[in-house]
Structure formats: structure tokens, C-alpha cells
Chains A and B, each alone.
Chain A
């Protein structure tokens, strides 16, 4: 397929259709709405299920229901909507049914605003609902990467019977970029052996998140933890830009990873050896690689569109003795390469002083 100009939200929607999406349930919220709007036509024309739910609470429970029958299903929303979905996400995690969720983040807390933000990092990686679980979280930096990751998300969700969240800020949802669509996959006819399909010629199946006995619930939790350990082993994804000889390493995800790359190039033009480490999987966080890199750079600068959330993961990865700096903006303010460069230059100057 040729590269075409796609709006991020619509590209995410089309890529999901091509991944074999059977059912979509969602609720309008800026800056995600085009995803829902696109599917309202596309899914119906293909004879697949599309429904605008009465709330995100209903949407995620519709998704939960469809997921119990073993079909590819997704929903999408933005920050306040994800908060409402937390109940369902926790039940889905405990029930171990595959679900794909797209979060196009906006400014918070509260109603916040509709400007781009990365303020849901904690929510999607650590606090997607009550109890011990982590969704698998993927953060694209371009429209093309959004397409590729959401296409992959359905396979990962099924492989691990887990929630996969594709998380991007409003920039990626709203902007237009050239992207190439993946091939159209057939909708799978066969259902997995745990799916609810009707007890025809077999024992009846039950999908529940309830385990009344302490030992049995602990066993379920241990199973979830094992799965998380497998995911940590196999699903770490990141991208590096000129890290080999870097003195200052900028760690940033999504849009900020991209802006930081421009800033790093500008810094290099001024003789400062800067590189960028961009986690693509926010959970599992690429902590081993970051720890490795911390041994060859002098400083790490974390740049985010929030008050410092991924910063915690970076600190956990490199330990408390390694100097980590942070630059972040909130409320929908998107730092420009110049803003990041200023911080890099300041750090560069400090490092020079130290060496003198």
C-alpha cells in the first residue's frame, strides 16, 4: 500500500479495522472523537458491530462482554473517559480477556482541557483500576507508529489475554502525517477455547473476576503476576537516537520523544553530545537498557508533558545515585525543541564546569 496522508485518530481506526476488529464501543470525547466517528461508518459498512455507548462506563463493559466471547474488540477515549473506564479495566484484567484500548490524552486533572498532555502515564501504567495488574502500554510518536502499534496490539492482547493500551497525546490523535496502512486481515472465525460461545456439546464455561477464597484469589493473582513477568521479558520496546557517544541522554516518550530528537540534533550542532532514549513500551518499561545506558552517559534528562511521571520509572531504573534532571510542562503546553535545548545547554554547561 502507498503512503497516504492520515489524521492520527482515523489512522488508528483504520488500522484496527484491518487488524480484524469485530466490535467497537465508545463515547465521544475530544481529542479522540474522530476515531469513533470514523468507525461509525466504516464498521457499519463492513457489517461489523459499532455502537456509541451512553458513557465510557457502559462502553468498557460492552467491550468486556464482547471480549468474553473471544472476538477482537476495542474502545477509545481520552483522559476523563479513561478514569470512568477503570472499573471495567480491573474486571477485564482479572478475567483475563483480551481488550485493546486507545487513550488520546488531554490536559488534566478534572475536566482539564482538550490540549495535548501526557498526564495519564501513571494511570495507564500503574493505576488502570483497583488491584494488582498492569496493562501492556504502547506509546507511538508518529502516526505511522500509531498504526503499527495498534495493529500489533490485537495480537499481543490475545497472546497474553491482557489489556493493551495504545497511549498517545492529543497531538498524535489530531495531526496529519503520511502513513502506510497494513494489509486487511480476515476476521477470525474460530474462537479461543476459553470463550463464551454457548455450551453446545461441552461443559458450560464461566468468566468471572470473583474468587471468594483467599488462597484461590491469591492463586489468580500469582497467575497474573507470572503473565506480567513474561510480558516484562518479551515485550520491551524502545528507540534510540545517537546514544552511542552521548554525554546527555534525553529520555522522553511519544510526542516528547520526537521533539527531544530535534532538540538533541540542535544541541549536537552546538557541540553538545546529546542522544535520545524513547521508550515505546511504557509497560513494560525498558529499565534494563536504560540502566545500561546510564553507565555511559553523564546525565539523563527526562522530558514530559506532565509533572514528572515517567521520571519515576527512570529513577527506578538508574538508581538514586545517578543524576536525573527533569523538564516538564503541563496543562496542554507543548515544549518546543528550543525549550528542551535550553535545558540541555544548561546541563551541558554544568558538566563543563564540573570537568574544569
Chain B
């Protein structure tokens, strides 16, 4: 044993509480939480951040983020964040939303928040399924993907096509920064972290709407073990939801 001074190499971000999360084994919500918390810590934003939890598996995110948080109605987080931000322009606002929340019931609210260039940051968890309610089809469920409400696999002739929200929102002039990352391996997790940092910096600089979409695993409802689920993201989700930056305005490039 050597007596070299202990060096702290890893600790819990201050923006996370020490609560145990309720997430399933292999779920990537926890990773996404940590990345957001690290970003808030690194940018020194924790004390003036207000977060909004969705209706979905992350409904209890307010117990895990050590920042002031409110719980929105299903899909309404962007509207709620708008109200908070407009009344408190000095605060940093983020919503944390699933794909059912953001792309189905809350499609109207997210489009208009982005269109207005609402100065908020949206963390969008795309797991191609409704996790919380037990695995029904989401607007992001892939063609042929089996869910409890598409038991024979998503049939395009019945359910239509999956929505690509990053591509869609990137077309709006109010959107300053829109990127899609993935949480299926360490390399992509590091990239996702960078995107989240950029998104908050965009808000700090008052440049407009920012969103980071994160492809995420839901082993429980996909009926896969955690490793299989990560592989499924890479093999099935990434081809339909290509990774990358969808909107980086010039002002964002110059940050």
C-alpha cells in the first residue's frame, strides 16, 4: 500500500439527491439523470434551476434532482416551463420528458414552445414505448415492434409511422439547438453529455429553444435483458433515429 494522498475521482453530482431511484435494472433514465445533473453542476446552475418532471417513468424525477422541481400534467411540461420562464427570466428551466409525453399527448405544447424559441432546455427520452403504463405503443415505436397495444408488431397501415421529433422540431426557426444522442454505450454517453452541456449553454446565452433527444433502453417492456436492450438501441433505433445535431444556429456555433 502506498500512502499517496487520496484523490477524489468520482462523486455524486450536487444536482442529484442521494435517493434510491425506482427505475428498473438496465433502464437508462438513471444515466440521463446523472448527465443532466453533471451538466448543471459544471455550469454552476443548480441554485437557479427549476426542473419539470413528466408523466411517465420519470414522474418521480423531482425526488432525484436536487433542484426545485414541479410535476406537470402528461405532456404539458413545455407549457409549464414557459410559464415559469416568462415570469422568471433569470431562472434556468428544463423539462424532462418521455416520448409518449412529448411526442403524443404533448405534441402541441412542444411544437409551440420550440416555435416561440422559448428559452428552455428539453431533455427528451426516446425509448420507443410507453414505459410507465406497462409497454403500450408510443409515437416512436418502430414498425413491426411488438408492444402490449400492438401485439402483432406496429402495423403502419393501422398505426401510421413513427415520429422523428428532433428532425421535426429542427425545422422551426425558434429552435436554436436540437441534437439526438444515445445512451447505449460509454462513447455515446460522453457525447450525450456534451450535447446536454451545449443545450444549457444555449439557454444561459438566451439563444432560444434547446432540446437533446436521448435514445434509451426499456428492457422491462421490450422484454430483453439489459445488455440485449442496449444492443437493440444500436441495431434498431439508431438506423431509424439517426444520431447527430439537427439544428445548430450560427449563434450556437459561436458559443
Q: Does B25 contact A (CB under 8 A)?
A: no
Q: How far is B62's CA from A208's CA once the two chains are assembled, in angstroms?
A: 9
- A65 touching B48, Cβ below 8 Å: no
- B46 touching A61, Cβ below 8 Å: no
Interchain nearest-CB distance for A75 vs B (Å) = 10
Q: Does B59 contact A (CB under 8 A)?
A: yes
Interface string of A40-59 (1 = CB under 8 A from B): 00000000010101110111
- B87 touching A23, Cβ below 8 Å: yes
Q: Does A297 contact B (CB under 8 A)?
A: no
Which among A62, A68, A197 is the interface contact of B86 at CB below 8 angstroms? A62
Q: Does B76 contact A (CB under 8 A)?
A: yes
The residues in A between 253 and 295 inclusive whose CB is less than 8 angstroms from any CB of B are none
Q: How far is B52's CA from A17's CA once the two chains are assembled, in angstroms?
A: 28
- A62 touching B79, Cβ below 8 Å: yes
Q: How far is B88's CA from A173's CA once the two chains are assembled, in angstroms?
A: 30
Q: Does A206 contact B (CB under 8 A)?
A: yes
Query: For B79, what are the chain A residues with a Cβ–Cβ distance below 8 Å?
Result: 53, 57-59, 61-62, 64-65
Q: Does B68 contact A (CB under 8 A)?
A: yes
- B71 touching A199, Cβ below 8 Å: no
With known contacts A58-B76, A58-B109, A208-B71, A51–B84 Cβ distance under 8 A? no
Interface string of A69-97 (1 = CB under 8 A from B): 10101000000000000011001000100
With known contacts A64-B80, A65-B81, A210-B59, A73–B87 Cβ distance under 8 A? yes
Query: For A210, what are the chain B residues with a Cβ–Cβ distance below 8 Å?
Result: 59-60, 71
Q: How far is B108's CA from A40's CA once the two chains are assembled, in angstroms?
A: 22
Interface of A is mostly: mixed
The residues in B between 47 and 65 inclusive whose CB is less than 8 angstroms from any CB of A are 47-50, 52-53, 59-60, 62-63, 65
- A68 touching B66, Cβ below 8 Å: no
- A49 touching B59, Cβ below 8 Å: no
Q: How far is B48's CA from A1's CA once the two chains are assembled, in angstroms?
A: 41
Query: For B69, what are the chain A residues with a Cβ–Cβ distance below 8 Å?
Result: 196, 204-207
Q: Does A198 contact B (CB under 8 A)?
A: yes
Query: For A198, what are the chain B residues with a Cβ–Cβ distance below 8 Å?
Result: 47-50, 67-68, 91
Query: For B47, what are the chain A residues with a Cβ–Cβ distance below 8 Å?
Result: 198-201
Q: How far is B108's CA from A87's CA once the two chains are assembled, in angstroms?
A: 15
Q: How far is B82's CA from A325's CA once the two chains are assembled, in angstroms?
A: 49
Interchain nearest-CB distance for A65 vs B (Å) = 3
Query: For B50, what are the chain A residues with a Cβ–Cβ distance below 8 Å?
Result: 69, 196, 198
- B66 touching A204, Cβ below 8 Å: yes
Query: For A318, what are the chain B residues with a Cβ–Cβ distance below 8 Å?
Result: none
Q: Does A63 contact B (CB under 8 A)?
A: yes
With known contacts A196-B69, A198-B91, A23–B112 Cβ distance under 8 A? no
Query: For A101, what are the chain B residues with a Cβ–Cβ distance below 8 Å?
Result: none
- A51 touching B82, Cβ below 8 Å: yes
With known contacts A65-B79, A198-B47, A58–B70 Cβ distance under 8 A? no
Q: Does A209 contact B (CB under 8 A)?
A: yes
Query: For A91, what are the chain B residues with a Cβ–Cβ distance below 8 Å?
Result: 72-73
Q: Does B83 contact A (CB under 8 A)?
A: yes
With known contacts A51-B86, A199-B47, A62–B70 Cβ distance under 8 A? no
Q: How far is B62's CA from A65's CA once the two chains are assembled, in angstroms?
A: 15
The winner among A22, A65, A199 for most chain B CB atoms within 10 A is A65
Given contacts A23-B86, A204-B69, 5 further A-B contacts (CB under 8 A): A25-B83, A49-B86, A61-B80, A206-B62, A206-B63
Please list the residues of chain B having a beta carbon within 8 angstroms of any beta carbon in chain A: 17, 46-50, 52-53, 59-60, 62-63, 65-73, 76, 79-88, 91, 108-109, 112
Please list the residues of chain A having a beta carbon within 8 angstroms of any beta carbon in chain B: 22-23, 25, 49, 51, 53-55, 57-59, 61-69, 71, 73, 87-88, 91, 95, 196-201, 204-210
